[in-house]
Structure 1
Amino acid sequence: MNSFLSGLISWLLLPVAVFKGIGVRKTAPRLPPPRGRPKGQIGDGPAEIRVLVIGDSSAAGVGADRIEDTLGPQLALCLNRMTGKPVSWRNAGANSATASQVRDYVVANIEERDFTHVILAVGTNDAKNYVTRSRFKKDFGGLLYAAHSRWPDAKLYWSPVVSMTDVPALPGSLAFILAMRVRIINTIGAQLCQERYATALDPLPVDGPEGFAVDGFHANALGYRHWAEHVAKFIRDEEPASSSWKK
């Protein structure tokens, strides 16, 4: 099914999505981000790799019990093991944030300018909020420009939205509908990354419900580790063959 047909069918099924979504909100617990300083370092000495994870609640680490188990520090640990280099990390996420909100309220409030790698974790809320194709193109495209402008020397990566049919909290009918919205978001996002200084990663494969938190929607420590390994391998494979990265 192409993205145009996905959009048409999903809009026709909007009343079903709203009804089912209200049911999920009533039953799913709302989780806070883990406590702790949202930055740190793996390895001794000046950080040679400096990672920023920016985006929605997943970038903030919602679903993990400890800040050390979130995407930023787990990605830093993976990169440290692959390279032997000290790696610093920073999480910067906002609950329920869409691409436009990350662009307007998160990017502008990060003072550090020396990141080497910026990971964008955004798009899930745009999909479930039925953000239109044209609006997401404007919002996410603006986010890419804003990130590149603020960190021009960093490599930008976008982690697309996972398949909604793999999310335990969603009933089958709602997962089917949201999967169509995700198809639109991921298609447009990948196209924009090609045009605007960024690399779209492959969507994260989900092996089962074990990687989800108690709300059945966010990742838990295991899920964030799986995600970090996925991103780290993609980054490693993009590095020149002459670099110190280990295979």
Structure 2
Amino acid sequence: MLHQLILILMGPIFWVQGKYVRKSIPYLEEAEGPRHGRCGQGKKPLRVLLIGDSAAAGVGAKCQSQALSGQLTSTLGKQFRVEWQLIAKTGNTTKQVLQSALLHPKQMYDVVVISAGVNDVTKPTSATKWIQHQQTLTNTLRSHFSCQHIILNEIPPMEVFPSLPHPLRWYLGSKAKAFNRKLAKWVDTQPDCELVNIGGPLDVVHMAVDGFHPGPQIYQQWGRAVAKLIEARWSSHR
């Protein structure tokens, strides 16, 4: 409610600043390279689906090996035989991620990793409505992919994004925190879901040149954090 009120009061300023940001931020392509594959020499098979937005697609990294998909699967490959698939597109909101999932053929995955939220924060979407979208998405993933483990990612601290001017930066950062609080509270009620914490403050030096997306070092940190959750749950899983 608070953020909706602020949006009404400061909407014209945010509109002008948003228009400036869209023109000033350099456009970065999604990371090159395969979006599915097999890797690893471990004894246990593991099927992993990554789904989401530009961060899932690896914007800010030159190739998928430097992006989340490559960092995650290379880490998991030390312990598992990983079969993986990436479904991601720049600009995707949570509702669009859901649509992408439904367009993908039904098949079984053990783990699904979701990256979605930044594009919802930049839209006039409330935290309550966003959680409803997240719930619909996770329920769809359960039924469509028979997954047993769903990993959701916190929205990054947008209040430190160098590409965003104030007060827009403050507003989006505050809204992202509100989204994350509701997400954490909901995830705690879902036994098959976990919320990844990359750990430590975001080092803007390691962000991509657009000041909005992760760079390779952040993707590495992120991939290892996700892998740690997967390994903890699946190392002893038969």
DSSP-derived class of the 1:12 partner: helix
Q: Aligned AA for 1:32?
A: E
Aligned to 2:84, which of 86, 89, 93? 89
Superposed CA RMSD in Å reads: 2.4
Of 171-180 and 51-60, deviating more is 171-180
Cα 1:57/1:198, change in 2 over 3 Å: same
Match for 1:228 among 223, 230, 233?
A: 223
Q: Which amino acid aligns with 1:235?
A: I
| Cα distance in 2 between the residues matched to 1:239 and 1:47 | 9
Deviation at residue 96 of structure 1 after TM alignment: 0.8
Residue 176 (1) aligns with residue 173 (2)? no
Task: Work out the percentage of aligned pairs sharing the same amino acid.
Answer: 27
1:115 deviates by 1.6
Structure 2 runs not aligned, ≥5 long: none
Code of the aligned partner of 1:39: H
**Alignment map for 1:90-239 (pairs within 5 Å):** 90-104=85-99, 106-111=100-105, 113-196=107-190, 197-202=192-197, 205-238=200-233
The more displaced of 9-18 and 115-124 is: 9-18
1:166/1:206 contact within 8 Å kept: no
Structure 2 equivalent of residue 18 of structure 1: 15
Kindly indicate whether the alpha-carbon contact (under 8 Å) linking 1:7 and 1:181 is maintained by their aligned counterparts in 2: no
**Where does residue 55 of structure 1 map in the other structure?**
52
TM, length-normalised to structure 1: 0.85
Residues in 1 aligned to 2:229 and 2:42: alpha-carbon distance in whole angstroms: 25
Q: 1:37 aligned to 2:34?
A: yes
Query: How many residues in Structure 1 have an aligned counterpart in Structure 2?
Result: 236
Distance of 1:107 and 1:153 partners within structure 2:
13
1:76 pairs with 2:73: yes
Report the Cα offset of residue 36 of structure 1.
2.1
- In structure 1, the residue corresponding to 2:133 is in which secondary structure? helix
